[in-house]
């Protein structure tokens, strides 16, 4: 069986997907037009670290070494113990520049940002032009309006910017432009009256608004979430508005510039019937009255609509903004949960274990298109024996903070 | 010594500690209630004695990245300060008469707060401390001081302590430009390179401290670890919203003097004849954006 695709971004003509450590590009007919495989594994990262240590030891002046009266010990490549978490060689969180000229992704193997030039006239449309490593694993990306700069948030709360074109920056010279003391969950670069701002969200319910490029001047925080935030999106028609969601029972609508919570759309009654045992907290945190947990995985906006993907829920929620409030359009039922979604033109593409990919048309309401992407199924390079070998596909809920009693 | 004997002795100490701390907890609860209902019976005399430090031992280090189980307000507006400074709370309007203006970050056993209370008897000062038992010690210390100095001019009603992770949740407590002084006294040094991000002064955190500080407000730092001193000076100097104050300024500033002598860690350094390095920085106005 094939390993499901994990991440997708799309334009109206092309789809870019990742599966394990592979990246592929397809046209909307399902023809393979580009591919790339990450040949760096996590072992390489460990090897690199070992080499750096040896290098450092060799550089230590002879005298000091003699003083310490120690033989130079060659550090061993650390081998993870039996209890250590599995490291996956993922490619995650794909983004396209606004002009669709560059594709940007994150690799877990060596904690880097990978940038591809997209040239549809080439046999393989994906050409790697940059691989920038970071001290901590990047976990979210946003692209500046002028398509020249990528903003990157890492797992330890730091936010960096790097140019799309040009030389790599040595890791030690990378300086964060702002930071949270928390796991960063999303970053968004936006604009108001000709001035730019960065919004950054974290696991500790914070959304911080900083000026950009003068990021050391914080504008304010948007307070109101009770749980982690996983997704922040905006509408093209009014960039003062911000929609946020995560581990709460609500989708929040803000005027982010004016620091005002406009409204909260309640999810519990609507989504509850679609939750099952898998939405309960892990065993050791479970009580008799533990509620099933709702987690927003991703949101996308189209015109005045927001499409919401929840973790392991057989349905897509569509909301519409009217008078500074979110209103229900539909909870579109599905036979299986989606892993990731992306919009291109009036289409929405959804990845899943069951159907690999599903195409929807959206014209104020969703319909499923009768379309099979045979090429995608045939060209998926990742063959596995069983579901046990799947990389974790539904992980959003691990952001939830829990405490033992 | 016999192992089993050692063990029983250990247990005895533990249980003594437990009984003591339970009694103190009751006092704290009463004190909290008292703040709302003054008709409450007075606590027994012996329970408001100054707390004894040895009953509040705790591991020296706390990981600022971990979740803990912290209580923190959802936003500065939703913070209920009346529990902490009951005499500065107007019952009728249910408003605070003043905001907190001085913060002691990682206040430890609270020596600085107590001296600040005397120097600024009309200003609200808050200690923030991540270790539970240390926080409880300071809370008990303040309860005792308030009780013992009820009818005096300096009555310690203007100081309080909160358990919290200042590196994560400072913005939940303080509004923009609320503070006039922030103290960082003998912060944990986190020696290893790998752990530098755990230090309480970093470029990125300084932007958050600058948000909470008024223009003209002061960050005070003191440490006995020269490497940490250099680190703090380097980062504060590099930060565009701070400017170092010179030796002359330090010499005439009352708080520098207080900070030099009054914290428990500072006194320990004194006993061990260690060095103390001071650096103070003023919050500059934001640039034109
Ligand atoms: C070495 S002690 C100094 C205590 C006190 N300032 C003094 O001078 O005596 C540092 C204190 O900072 C506290 N601390 C460390 N990180 C903290 C954080 N993120 N938030 C609040 N307190 C913290 C520690 O628990 C410890 O009590």
What's the complex ipTM?
0.89
B96 pLDDT tier (thresholds 50, 70, 90): very high
B168 touches ligand 1 (CB under 6 Å): no
Average confidence score pLDDT of chain B: 89
> What pLDDT is recorded for position A90?
85
Range with lowest mean pLDDT among A116-130, A320-334, A371-385 = A371-385
Domains of chain A: 7-41+90-399 (2.130.10.10), 42-88 (no CATH)
- Give the model confidence (pLDDT) of B22-37 as tens digits: 888 888 877 765 544 4
Domains of chain B: 3-283 (3.40.50.150)
Closest CA to B129 of B146, B117, B112: B112
List the 153-172 stretch of B: residues with Cβ below 8 A of A: 165, 167-169, 171-172
Q: How many percent of chain A have pLDDT more than 90?
A: 80
How far from each other are the two terminal CA atoms of chain B, in whole angstroms?
A: 70
- Give the model confidence (pLDDT) of B179-232 as tens digits: 999 999 999 999 887 778 889 999 999 999 999 999 999 999 999 999 999 999
**Using the beta-carbon criterion (under 8 Å), do A210 and B207 form an inter-chain contact?**
yes
CB-based contact, A58 to chain B, within 8 Å: no
**Using the beta-carbon criterion (under 8 Å), do B168 and A156 form an inter-chain contact?**
no
B239 vs A208, A216, A403: nearest CB: A216
**Using the beta-carbon criterion (under 8 Å), do A221 and B171 form an inter-chain contact?**
yes
Distance CA A382, CA A363 (A): 34
Distance CA A38, CA A114 (A): 10
Closest CA to A37 of A351, A353, A356, A382: A382
- Give the model confidence (pLDDT) of A161-217 as tens digits: 999 999 999 998 999 999 999 999 999 999 999 999 999 999 999 999 999 999 999
**DSSP code of residue A273:** G
Q: Which long-range contacts (CB under 8 A, 24 or more apart) does B137-140 make?
A: B137/B51, B137/B53, B137/B56, B137/B109, B137/B110, B138/B107, B138/B109, B138/B110, B138/B113, B139/B28, B140/B24, B140/B27, B140/B28, B140/B50, B140/B51
Q: Are A299 and A308 in contact (CB under 8 A)?
A: yes
Ligand 1 centre to CA of A311 (Å) is: 39
B110 touches ligand 1 (CB under 6 Å): no
- For A203, the closest chain B residue by CA position comes to B67
Q: List, as one string, the DSSP characters of A289-328.
A: TPPPPP-EEEEEEETTEEEEEETT-SEEEEEEEETTEEEE
Q: List, as one string, the DSSP characters of A2-64.
A: BPPP-EEEE-SSEEEEEETTEEEEEETT--EEEEEE----HHHHHHHHHHHHHHHHHHS-HHH
Closest CA to A235 of A143, A185, A306, A340: A306
Question: Could you give phi then psi for residue A399, rounded to 5 degrees?
Answer: -75, -15
The answer, yes or no, to whether residue B287 has pLDDT greater than 60, is yes
Q: How far, rounded to the nearest angstrom, does the alpha carbon of residue A15 sit from its chain's CA centroid? A: 16
> What pLDDT is recorded for position B192?
82
Chain A partners within 8 Å of B201 (Cβ): none
B49 pLDDT tier (thresholds 50, 70, 90): confident
Testing ligand 1's pocket by substitution, the residue of B57, B137, B185, B188 carrying the most ligand atoms inside 8 A of its CB is: B188
Chain B partners within 8 Å of A402 (Cβ): 67
Distance CA A126, CA A22 (A): 12
- For A399, the closest chain B residue by CA position comes to B67
Chain B partners within 8 Å of A176 (Cβ): 203-204
**Average pLDDT of B83-87?**
96
B167 touches ligand 1 (CB under 6 Å): yes
**Using the beta-carbon criterion (under 8 Å), do A217 and B169 form an inter-chain contact?**
no
Place of tokens 């109206």: A12
List the 206-235 stretch of B: residues with Cβ below 8 A of A: 206-208, 210-211
> What pLDDT is recorded for position A405?
45
> What pLDDT is recorded for position A364?
92
> What pLDDT is recorded for position A121?
95
> What pLDDT is recorded for position B39?
44
**Average pLDDT of A108-122?**
94
B147 touches ligand 1 (CB under 6 Å): no
At residue B12, the 3 state secondary structure works out as helix
At residue A65, the 3 state secondary structure works out as helix
Between A85 and A70, name the one with better pLDDT: A85
The answer, yes or no, to whether residue B57 has pLDDT greater than 70, is no
Tokens of B112: 């600085």
> What pLDDT is recorded for position B21?
82
* Residue A178, H or E segment: strand A178-179
Torsion of CA B11, B16, B17, B22, to 10 degrees: 130
Closest CA to B175 of B71, B76, B72, B241: B76
**Using the beta-carbon criterion (under 8 Å), do A217 and B75 form an inter-chain contact?**
no
The answer, yes or no, to whether residue B247 has pLDDT greater than 60, is yes
- Give the model confidence (pLDDT) of B133-150 as tens digits: 999 999 999 999 999 999
For A93, counting Cβ atoms within 10 Å of its Cβ (0-12 exposed, 13-18 middle, 19+ buried), the class is buried
B208 vs A156, A218, A401: nearest CB: A218
At residue B152, the 3 state secondary structure works out as coil
* Residue B133, H or E segment: helix B132-148
> What pLDDT is recorded for position B42?
47
The answer, yes or no, to whether residue B93 has pLDDT greater than 90, is yes
> What pLDDT is recorded for position A47?
72
Average confidence score pLDDT of chain A: 91
Question: Could you give phi then psi for residue A12, rounded to 5 degrees?
Answer: -75, -10
Q: Residue B168 — left, alpha, or beta (φ > 0 → left; ψ -120 to 50 → alpha)?
A: alpha
**Using the beta-carbon criterion (under 8 Å), do A216 and B206 form an inter-chain contact?**
yes
HSE, side-chain direction, 13 A CA sphere, residue A197: 21
Between A85 and B106, name the one with better pLDDT: B106
Chain B partners within 8 Å of A218 (Cβ): 207-208, 210-211
Between B1 and A335, name the one with better pLDDT: A335
CB-based contact, B178 to chain A, within 8 Å: no
Between A392 and B277, name the one with better pLDDT: B277
Distance CA B92, CA B270 (A): 48
CB-based contact, A226 to chain B, within 8 Å: yes
A181 vs B77, B167, B211: nearest CB: B167
The answer, yes or no, to whether residue A315 has pLDDT greater than 50, is yes
**Using the beta-carbon criterion (under 8 Å), do A182 and B168 form an inter-chain contact?**
yes
**Using the beta-carbon criterion (under 8 Å), do B206 and A214 form an inter-chain contact?**
no
- Give the model confidence (pLDDT) of B99-126 as tens digits: 999 999 999 999 999 999 999 999 999 9
The answer, yes or no, to whether residue A156 has pLDDT greater than 80, is yes
Q: Which atom of ligand 1 is nearest the CA belonging to B167?
A: 19
* Beta pairing, strands B124-129 & B100-105: parallel
Ligand 1 centre to CA of B51 (Å) is: 19
Chain A partners within 8 Å of B210 (Cβ): 216-218
Helical spans, DSSP H, in B152-288: 166-173, 203-212, 226-238, 247-252, 254-262, 264-271
Pairs across A and B, CB distance < 8 A: 67
Q: How far, rounded to the nearest angstrom, does the alpha carbon of residue A161 sit from its chain's CA centroid? A: 16
CB-based contact, B177 to chain A, within 8 Å: no
- Give the model confidence (pLDDT) of B147-176 as tens digits: 999 999 999 999 999 999 999 999 999 999
Q: Which of A36-50, A73-87, B128-142, B181-195 has the highest mean pLDDT?
A: B128-142
CB-based contact, A11 to chain B, within 8 Å: no
A156 vs B77, B172, B197: nearest CB: B197
Tokens of B114: 């107590």
B263 touches ligand 1 (CB under 6 Å): yes
The answer, yes or no, to whether residue A73 has pLDDT greater than 60, is no
| Catalytic residue numbers of B, as ranges | 188
Closest CA to B263 of B156, B196, B184, B188: B184
- For A177, the closest chain B residue by CA position comes to B204
Distance CA A346, CA A203 (A): 32
> What pLDDT is recorded for position A79?
62
> Residue A195, Cβ neighbours under 10 Å: how many?
13
CB-based contact, A221 to chain B, within 8 Å: yes
* Beta pairing, strands B213-223 & B179-185: parallel
Distance, in angstroms, between B209 CA and closest chain A CA? 10
Distance CA B63, CA B68 (A): 9
Tokens of B80: 């209920």
> What pLDDT is recorded for position B37?
45
> What pLDDT is recorded for position B206?
98
Q: How many percent of chain B have pLDDT more than 70?
A: 88
Q: Residue B186 — left, alpha, or beta (φ > 0 → left; ψ -120 to 50 → alpha)?
A: left
The answer, yes or no, to whether residue B3 has pLDDT greater than 70, is no
Closest CA to B154 of B113, B185, B101: B113
For A135, counting Cβ atoms within 10 Å of its Cβ (0-12 exposed, 13-18 middle, 19+ buried), the class is middle
Distance CA A111, CA A22 (A): 16
Which residue, judged by its Cα, is nearest atom 23 of ligand 1? B106
Between B83 and B40, name the one with better pLDDT: B83
Testing ligand 1's pocket by substitution, the residue of B62, B181, B264 carrying the most ligand atoms inside 8 A of its CB is: B62
The answer, yes or no, to whether residue B38 has pLDDT greater than 50, is no
């Amino acid at each position: 069986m094939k390993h499901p695709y994990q991440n997708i971004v799309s334009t109206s003509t092309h789809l870019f997907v990742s599966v394990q450590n592979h990246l592929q590009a397809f046209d909307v007919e399902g023809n393979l037009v580009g591919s790339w495989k990450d040949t760096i594994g996590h072992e390489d990262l460990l090897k690199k670290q070992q080499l750096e240590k040896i290098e450092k030891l060799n550089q230590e002046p002879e005298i000091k070494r003699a003083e310490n009266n120690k033989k130079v010990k060659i550090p061993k490549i650390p081998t993870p113990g039996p209890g250590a978490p599995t490291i996956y060689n993922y490619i995650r969180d794909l983004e396209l520049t606004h002009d669709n000229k560059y594709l940007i992704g994150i690799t877990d193997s060596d904690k880097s940002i990978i940038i591809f030039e997209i040239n549809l006239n080439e046999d393989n449309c994906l050409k790697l032009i940059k691989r920038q490593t970071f001290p901590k694993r990047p976990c979210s990306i946003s692209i500046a309006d002028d398509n020249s700069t990528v903003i990157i948030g890492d797992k330890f709360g730091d936010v960096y910017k790097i140019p799309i074109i040009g030389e790599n920056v040595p890791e030690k010279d990378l300086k964060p432009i702002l930071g949270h003391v928390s796991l960063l969950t999303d970053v968004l670069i936006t604009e108001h009256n000709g001035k730019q701002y960065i919004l950054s969200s974290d696991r500790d319910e914070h959304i911080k608004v900083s000026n950009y490029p003068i990021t050391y001047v914080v504008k304010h925080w948007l307070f109101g979430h009770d749980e982690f935030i996983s997704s922040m999106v905006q509408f093209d028609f009014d960039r003062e508005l911000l929609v946020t969601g995560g581990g709460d029972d609500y989708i929040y609508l803000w005027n982010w510039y004016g620091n005002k919570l406009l409204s909260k759309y309640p999810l519990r009654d609507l989504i509850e019937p679609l939750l099952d045992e898998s939405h309960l907290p892990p065993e050791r945190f479970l009580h008799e009255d533990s509620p099933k947990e709702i987690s927003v995985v991703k949101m996308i906006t189209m015109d005045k609509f927001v499409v919401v993907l929840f973790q392991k829920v057989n349905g897509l929620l569509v909301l519409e903004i009217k008078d500074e409030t979110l209103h229900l359009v539909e909870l579109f039922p599905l036979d299986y949960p989606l892993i990731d979604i992306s919009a291109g033109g009036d289409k929405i593409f959804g990845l899943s274990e069951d159907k690999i990919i599903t195409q929807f048309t959206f014209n104020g309401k969703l319909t499923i298109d009768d379309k099979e992407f045979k090429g995608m199924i045939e060209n998926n390079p990742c063959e596995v024996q069983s579901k046990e070998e799947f990389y974790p596909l539904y992980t959003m809920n691990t952001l939830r903070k829990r405490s033992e009693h | 010594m016999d192992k089993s004997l050692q063990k029983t002795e250990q247990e005895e100490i533990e249980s003594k500690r437990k009984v003591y701390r339970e009694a103190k907890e009751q006092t704290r609860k009463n004190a909290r209630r008292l703040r709302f209902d003054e008709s409450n019976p007075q606590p027994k005399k012996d329970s408001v004695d100054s707390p004894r430090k040895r009953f509040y031992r705790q591991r020296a280090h706390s990981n600022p990245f971990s979740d803990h189980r912290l209580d923190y307000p959802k936003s500065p507006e939703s913070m209920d300060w009346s529990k902490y400074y009951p005499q500065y709370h107007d019952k009728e309007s249910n408003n605070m008469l003043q905001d907190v203006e001085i913060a002691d970050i990682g206040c430890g056993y609270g020596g600085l707060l107590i001296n600040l209370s005397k120097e600024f008897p009309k200003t609200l000062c808050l200690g923030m401390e991540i270790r539970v038992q240390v926080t409880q010690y300071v809370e008990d210390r303040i309860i005792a001081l308030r009780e013992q100095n009820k009818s005096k001019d300096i009555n310690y009603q203007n100081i309080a302590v909160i358990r919290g992770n200042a590196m994560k949740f400072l913005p939940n407590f303080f509004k923009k430009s609320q503070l006039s002084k922030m103290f960082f006294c003998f912060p944990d040094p986190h020696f290893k390179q790998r752990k530098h991000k755990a230090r309480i002064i970093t470029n990125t955190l300084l932007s958050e401290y600058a948000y909470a500080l008024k223009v003209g407000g002061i960050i005070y730092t003191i440490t006995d670890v020269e490497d940490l001193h250099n680190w703090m000076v380097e980062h504060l100097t590099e930060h565009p919203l701070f400017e170092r104050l010179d030796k002359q300024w330090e010499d005439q500033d009352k708080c520098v003097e207080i900070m030099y002598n009054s914290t428990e860690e500072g006194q320990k350094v004194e006993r061990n004849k260690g060095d103390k390095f001071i650096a103070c920085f003023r919050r500059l106005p934001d640039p034109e954006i």
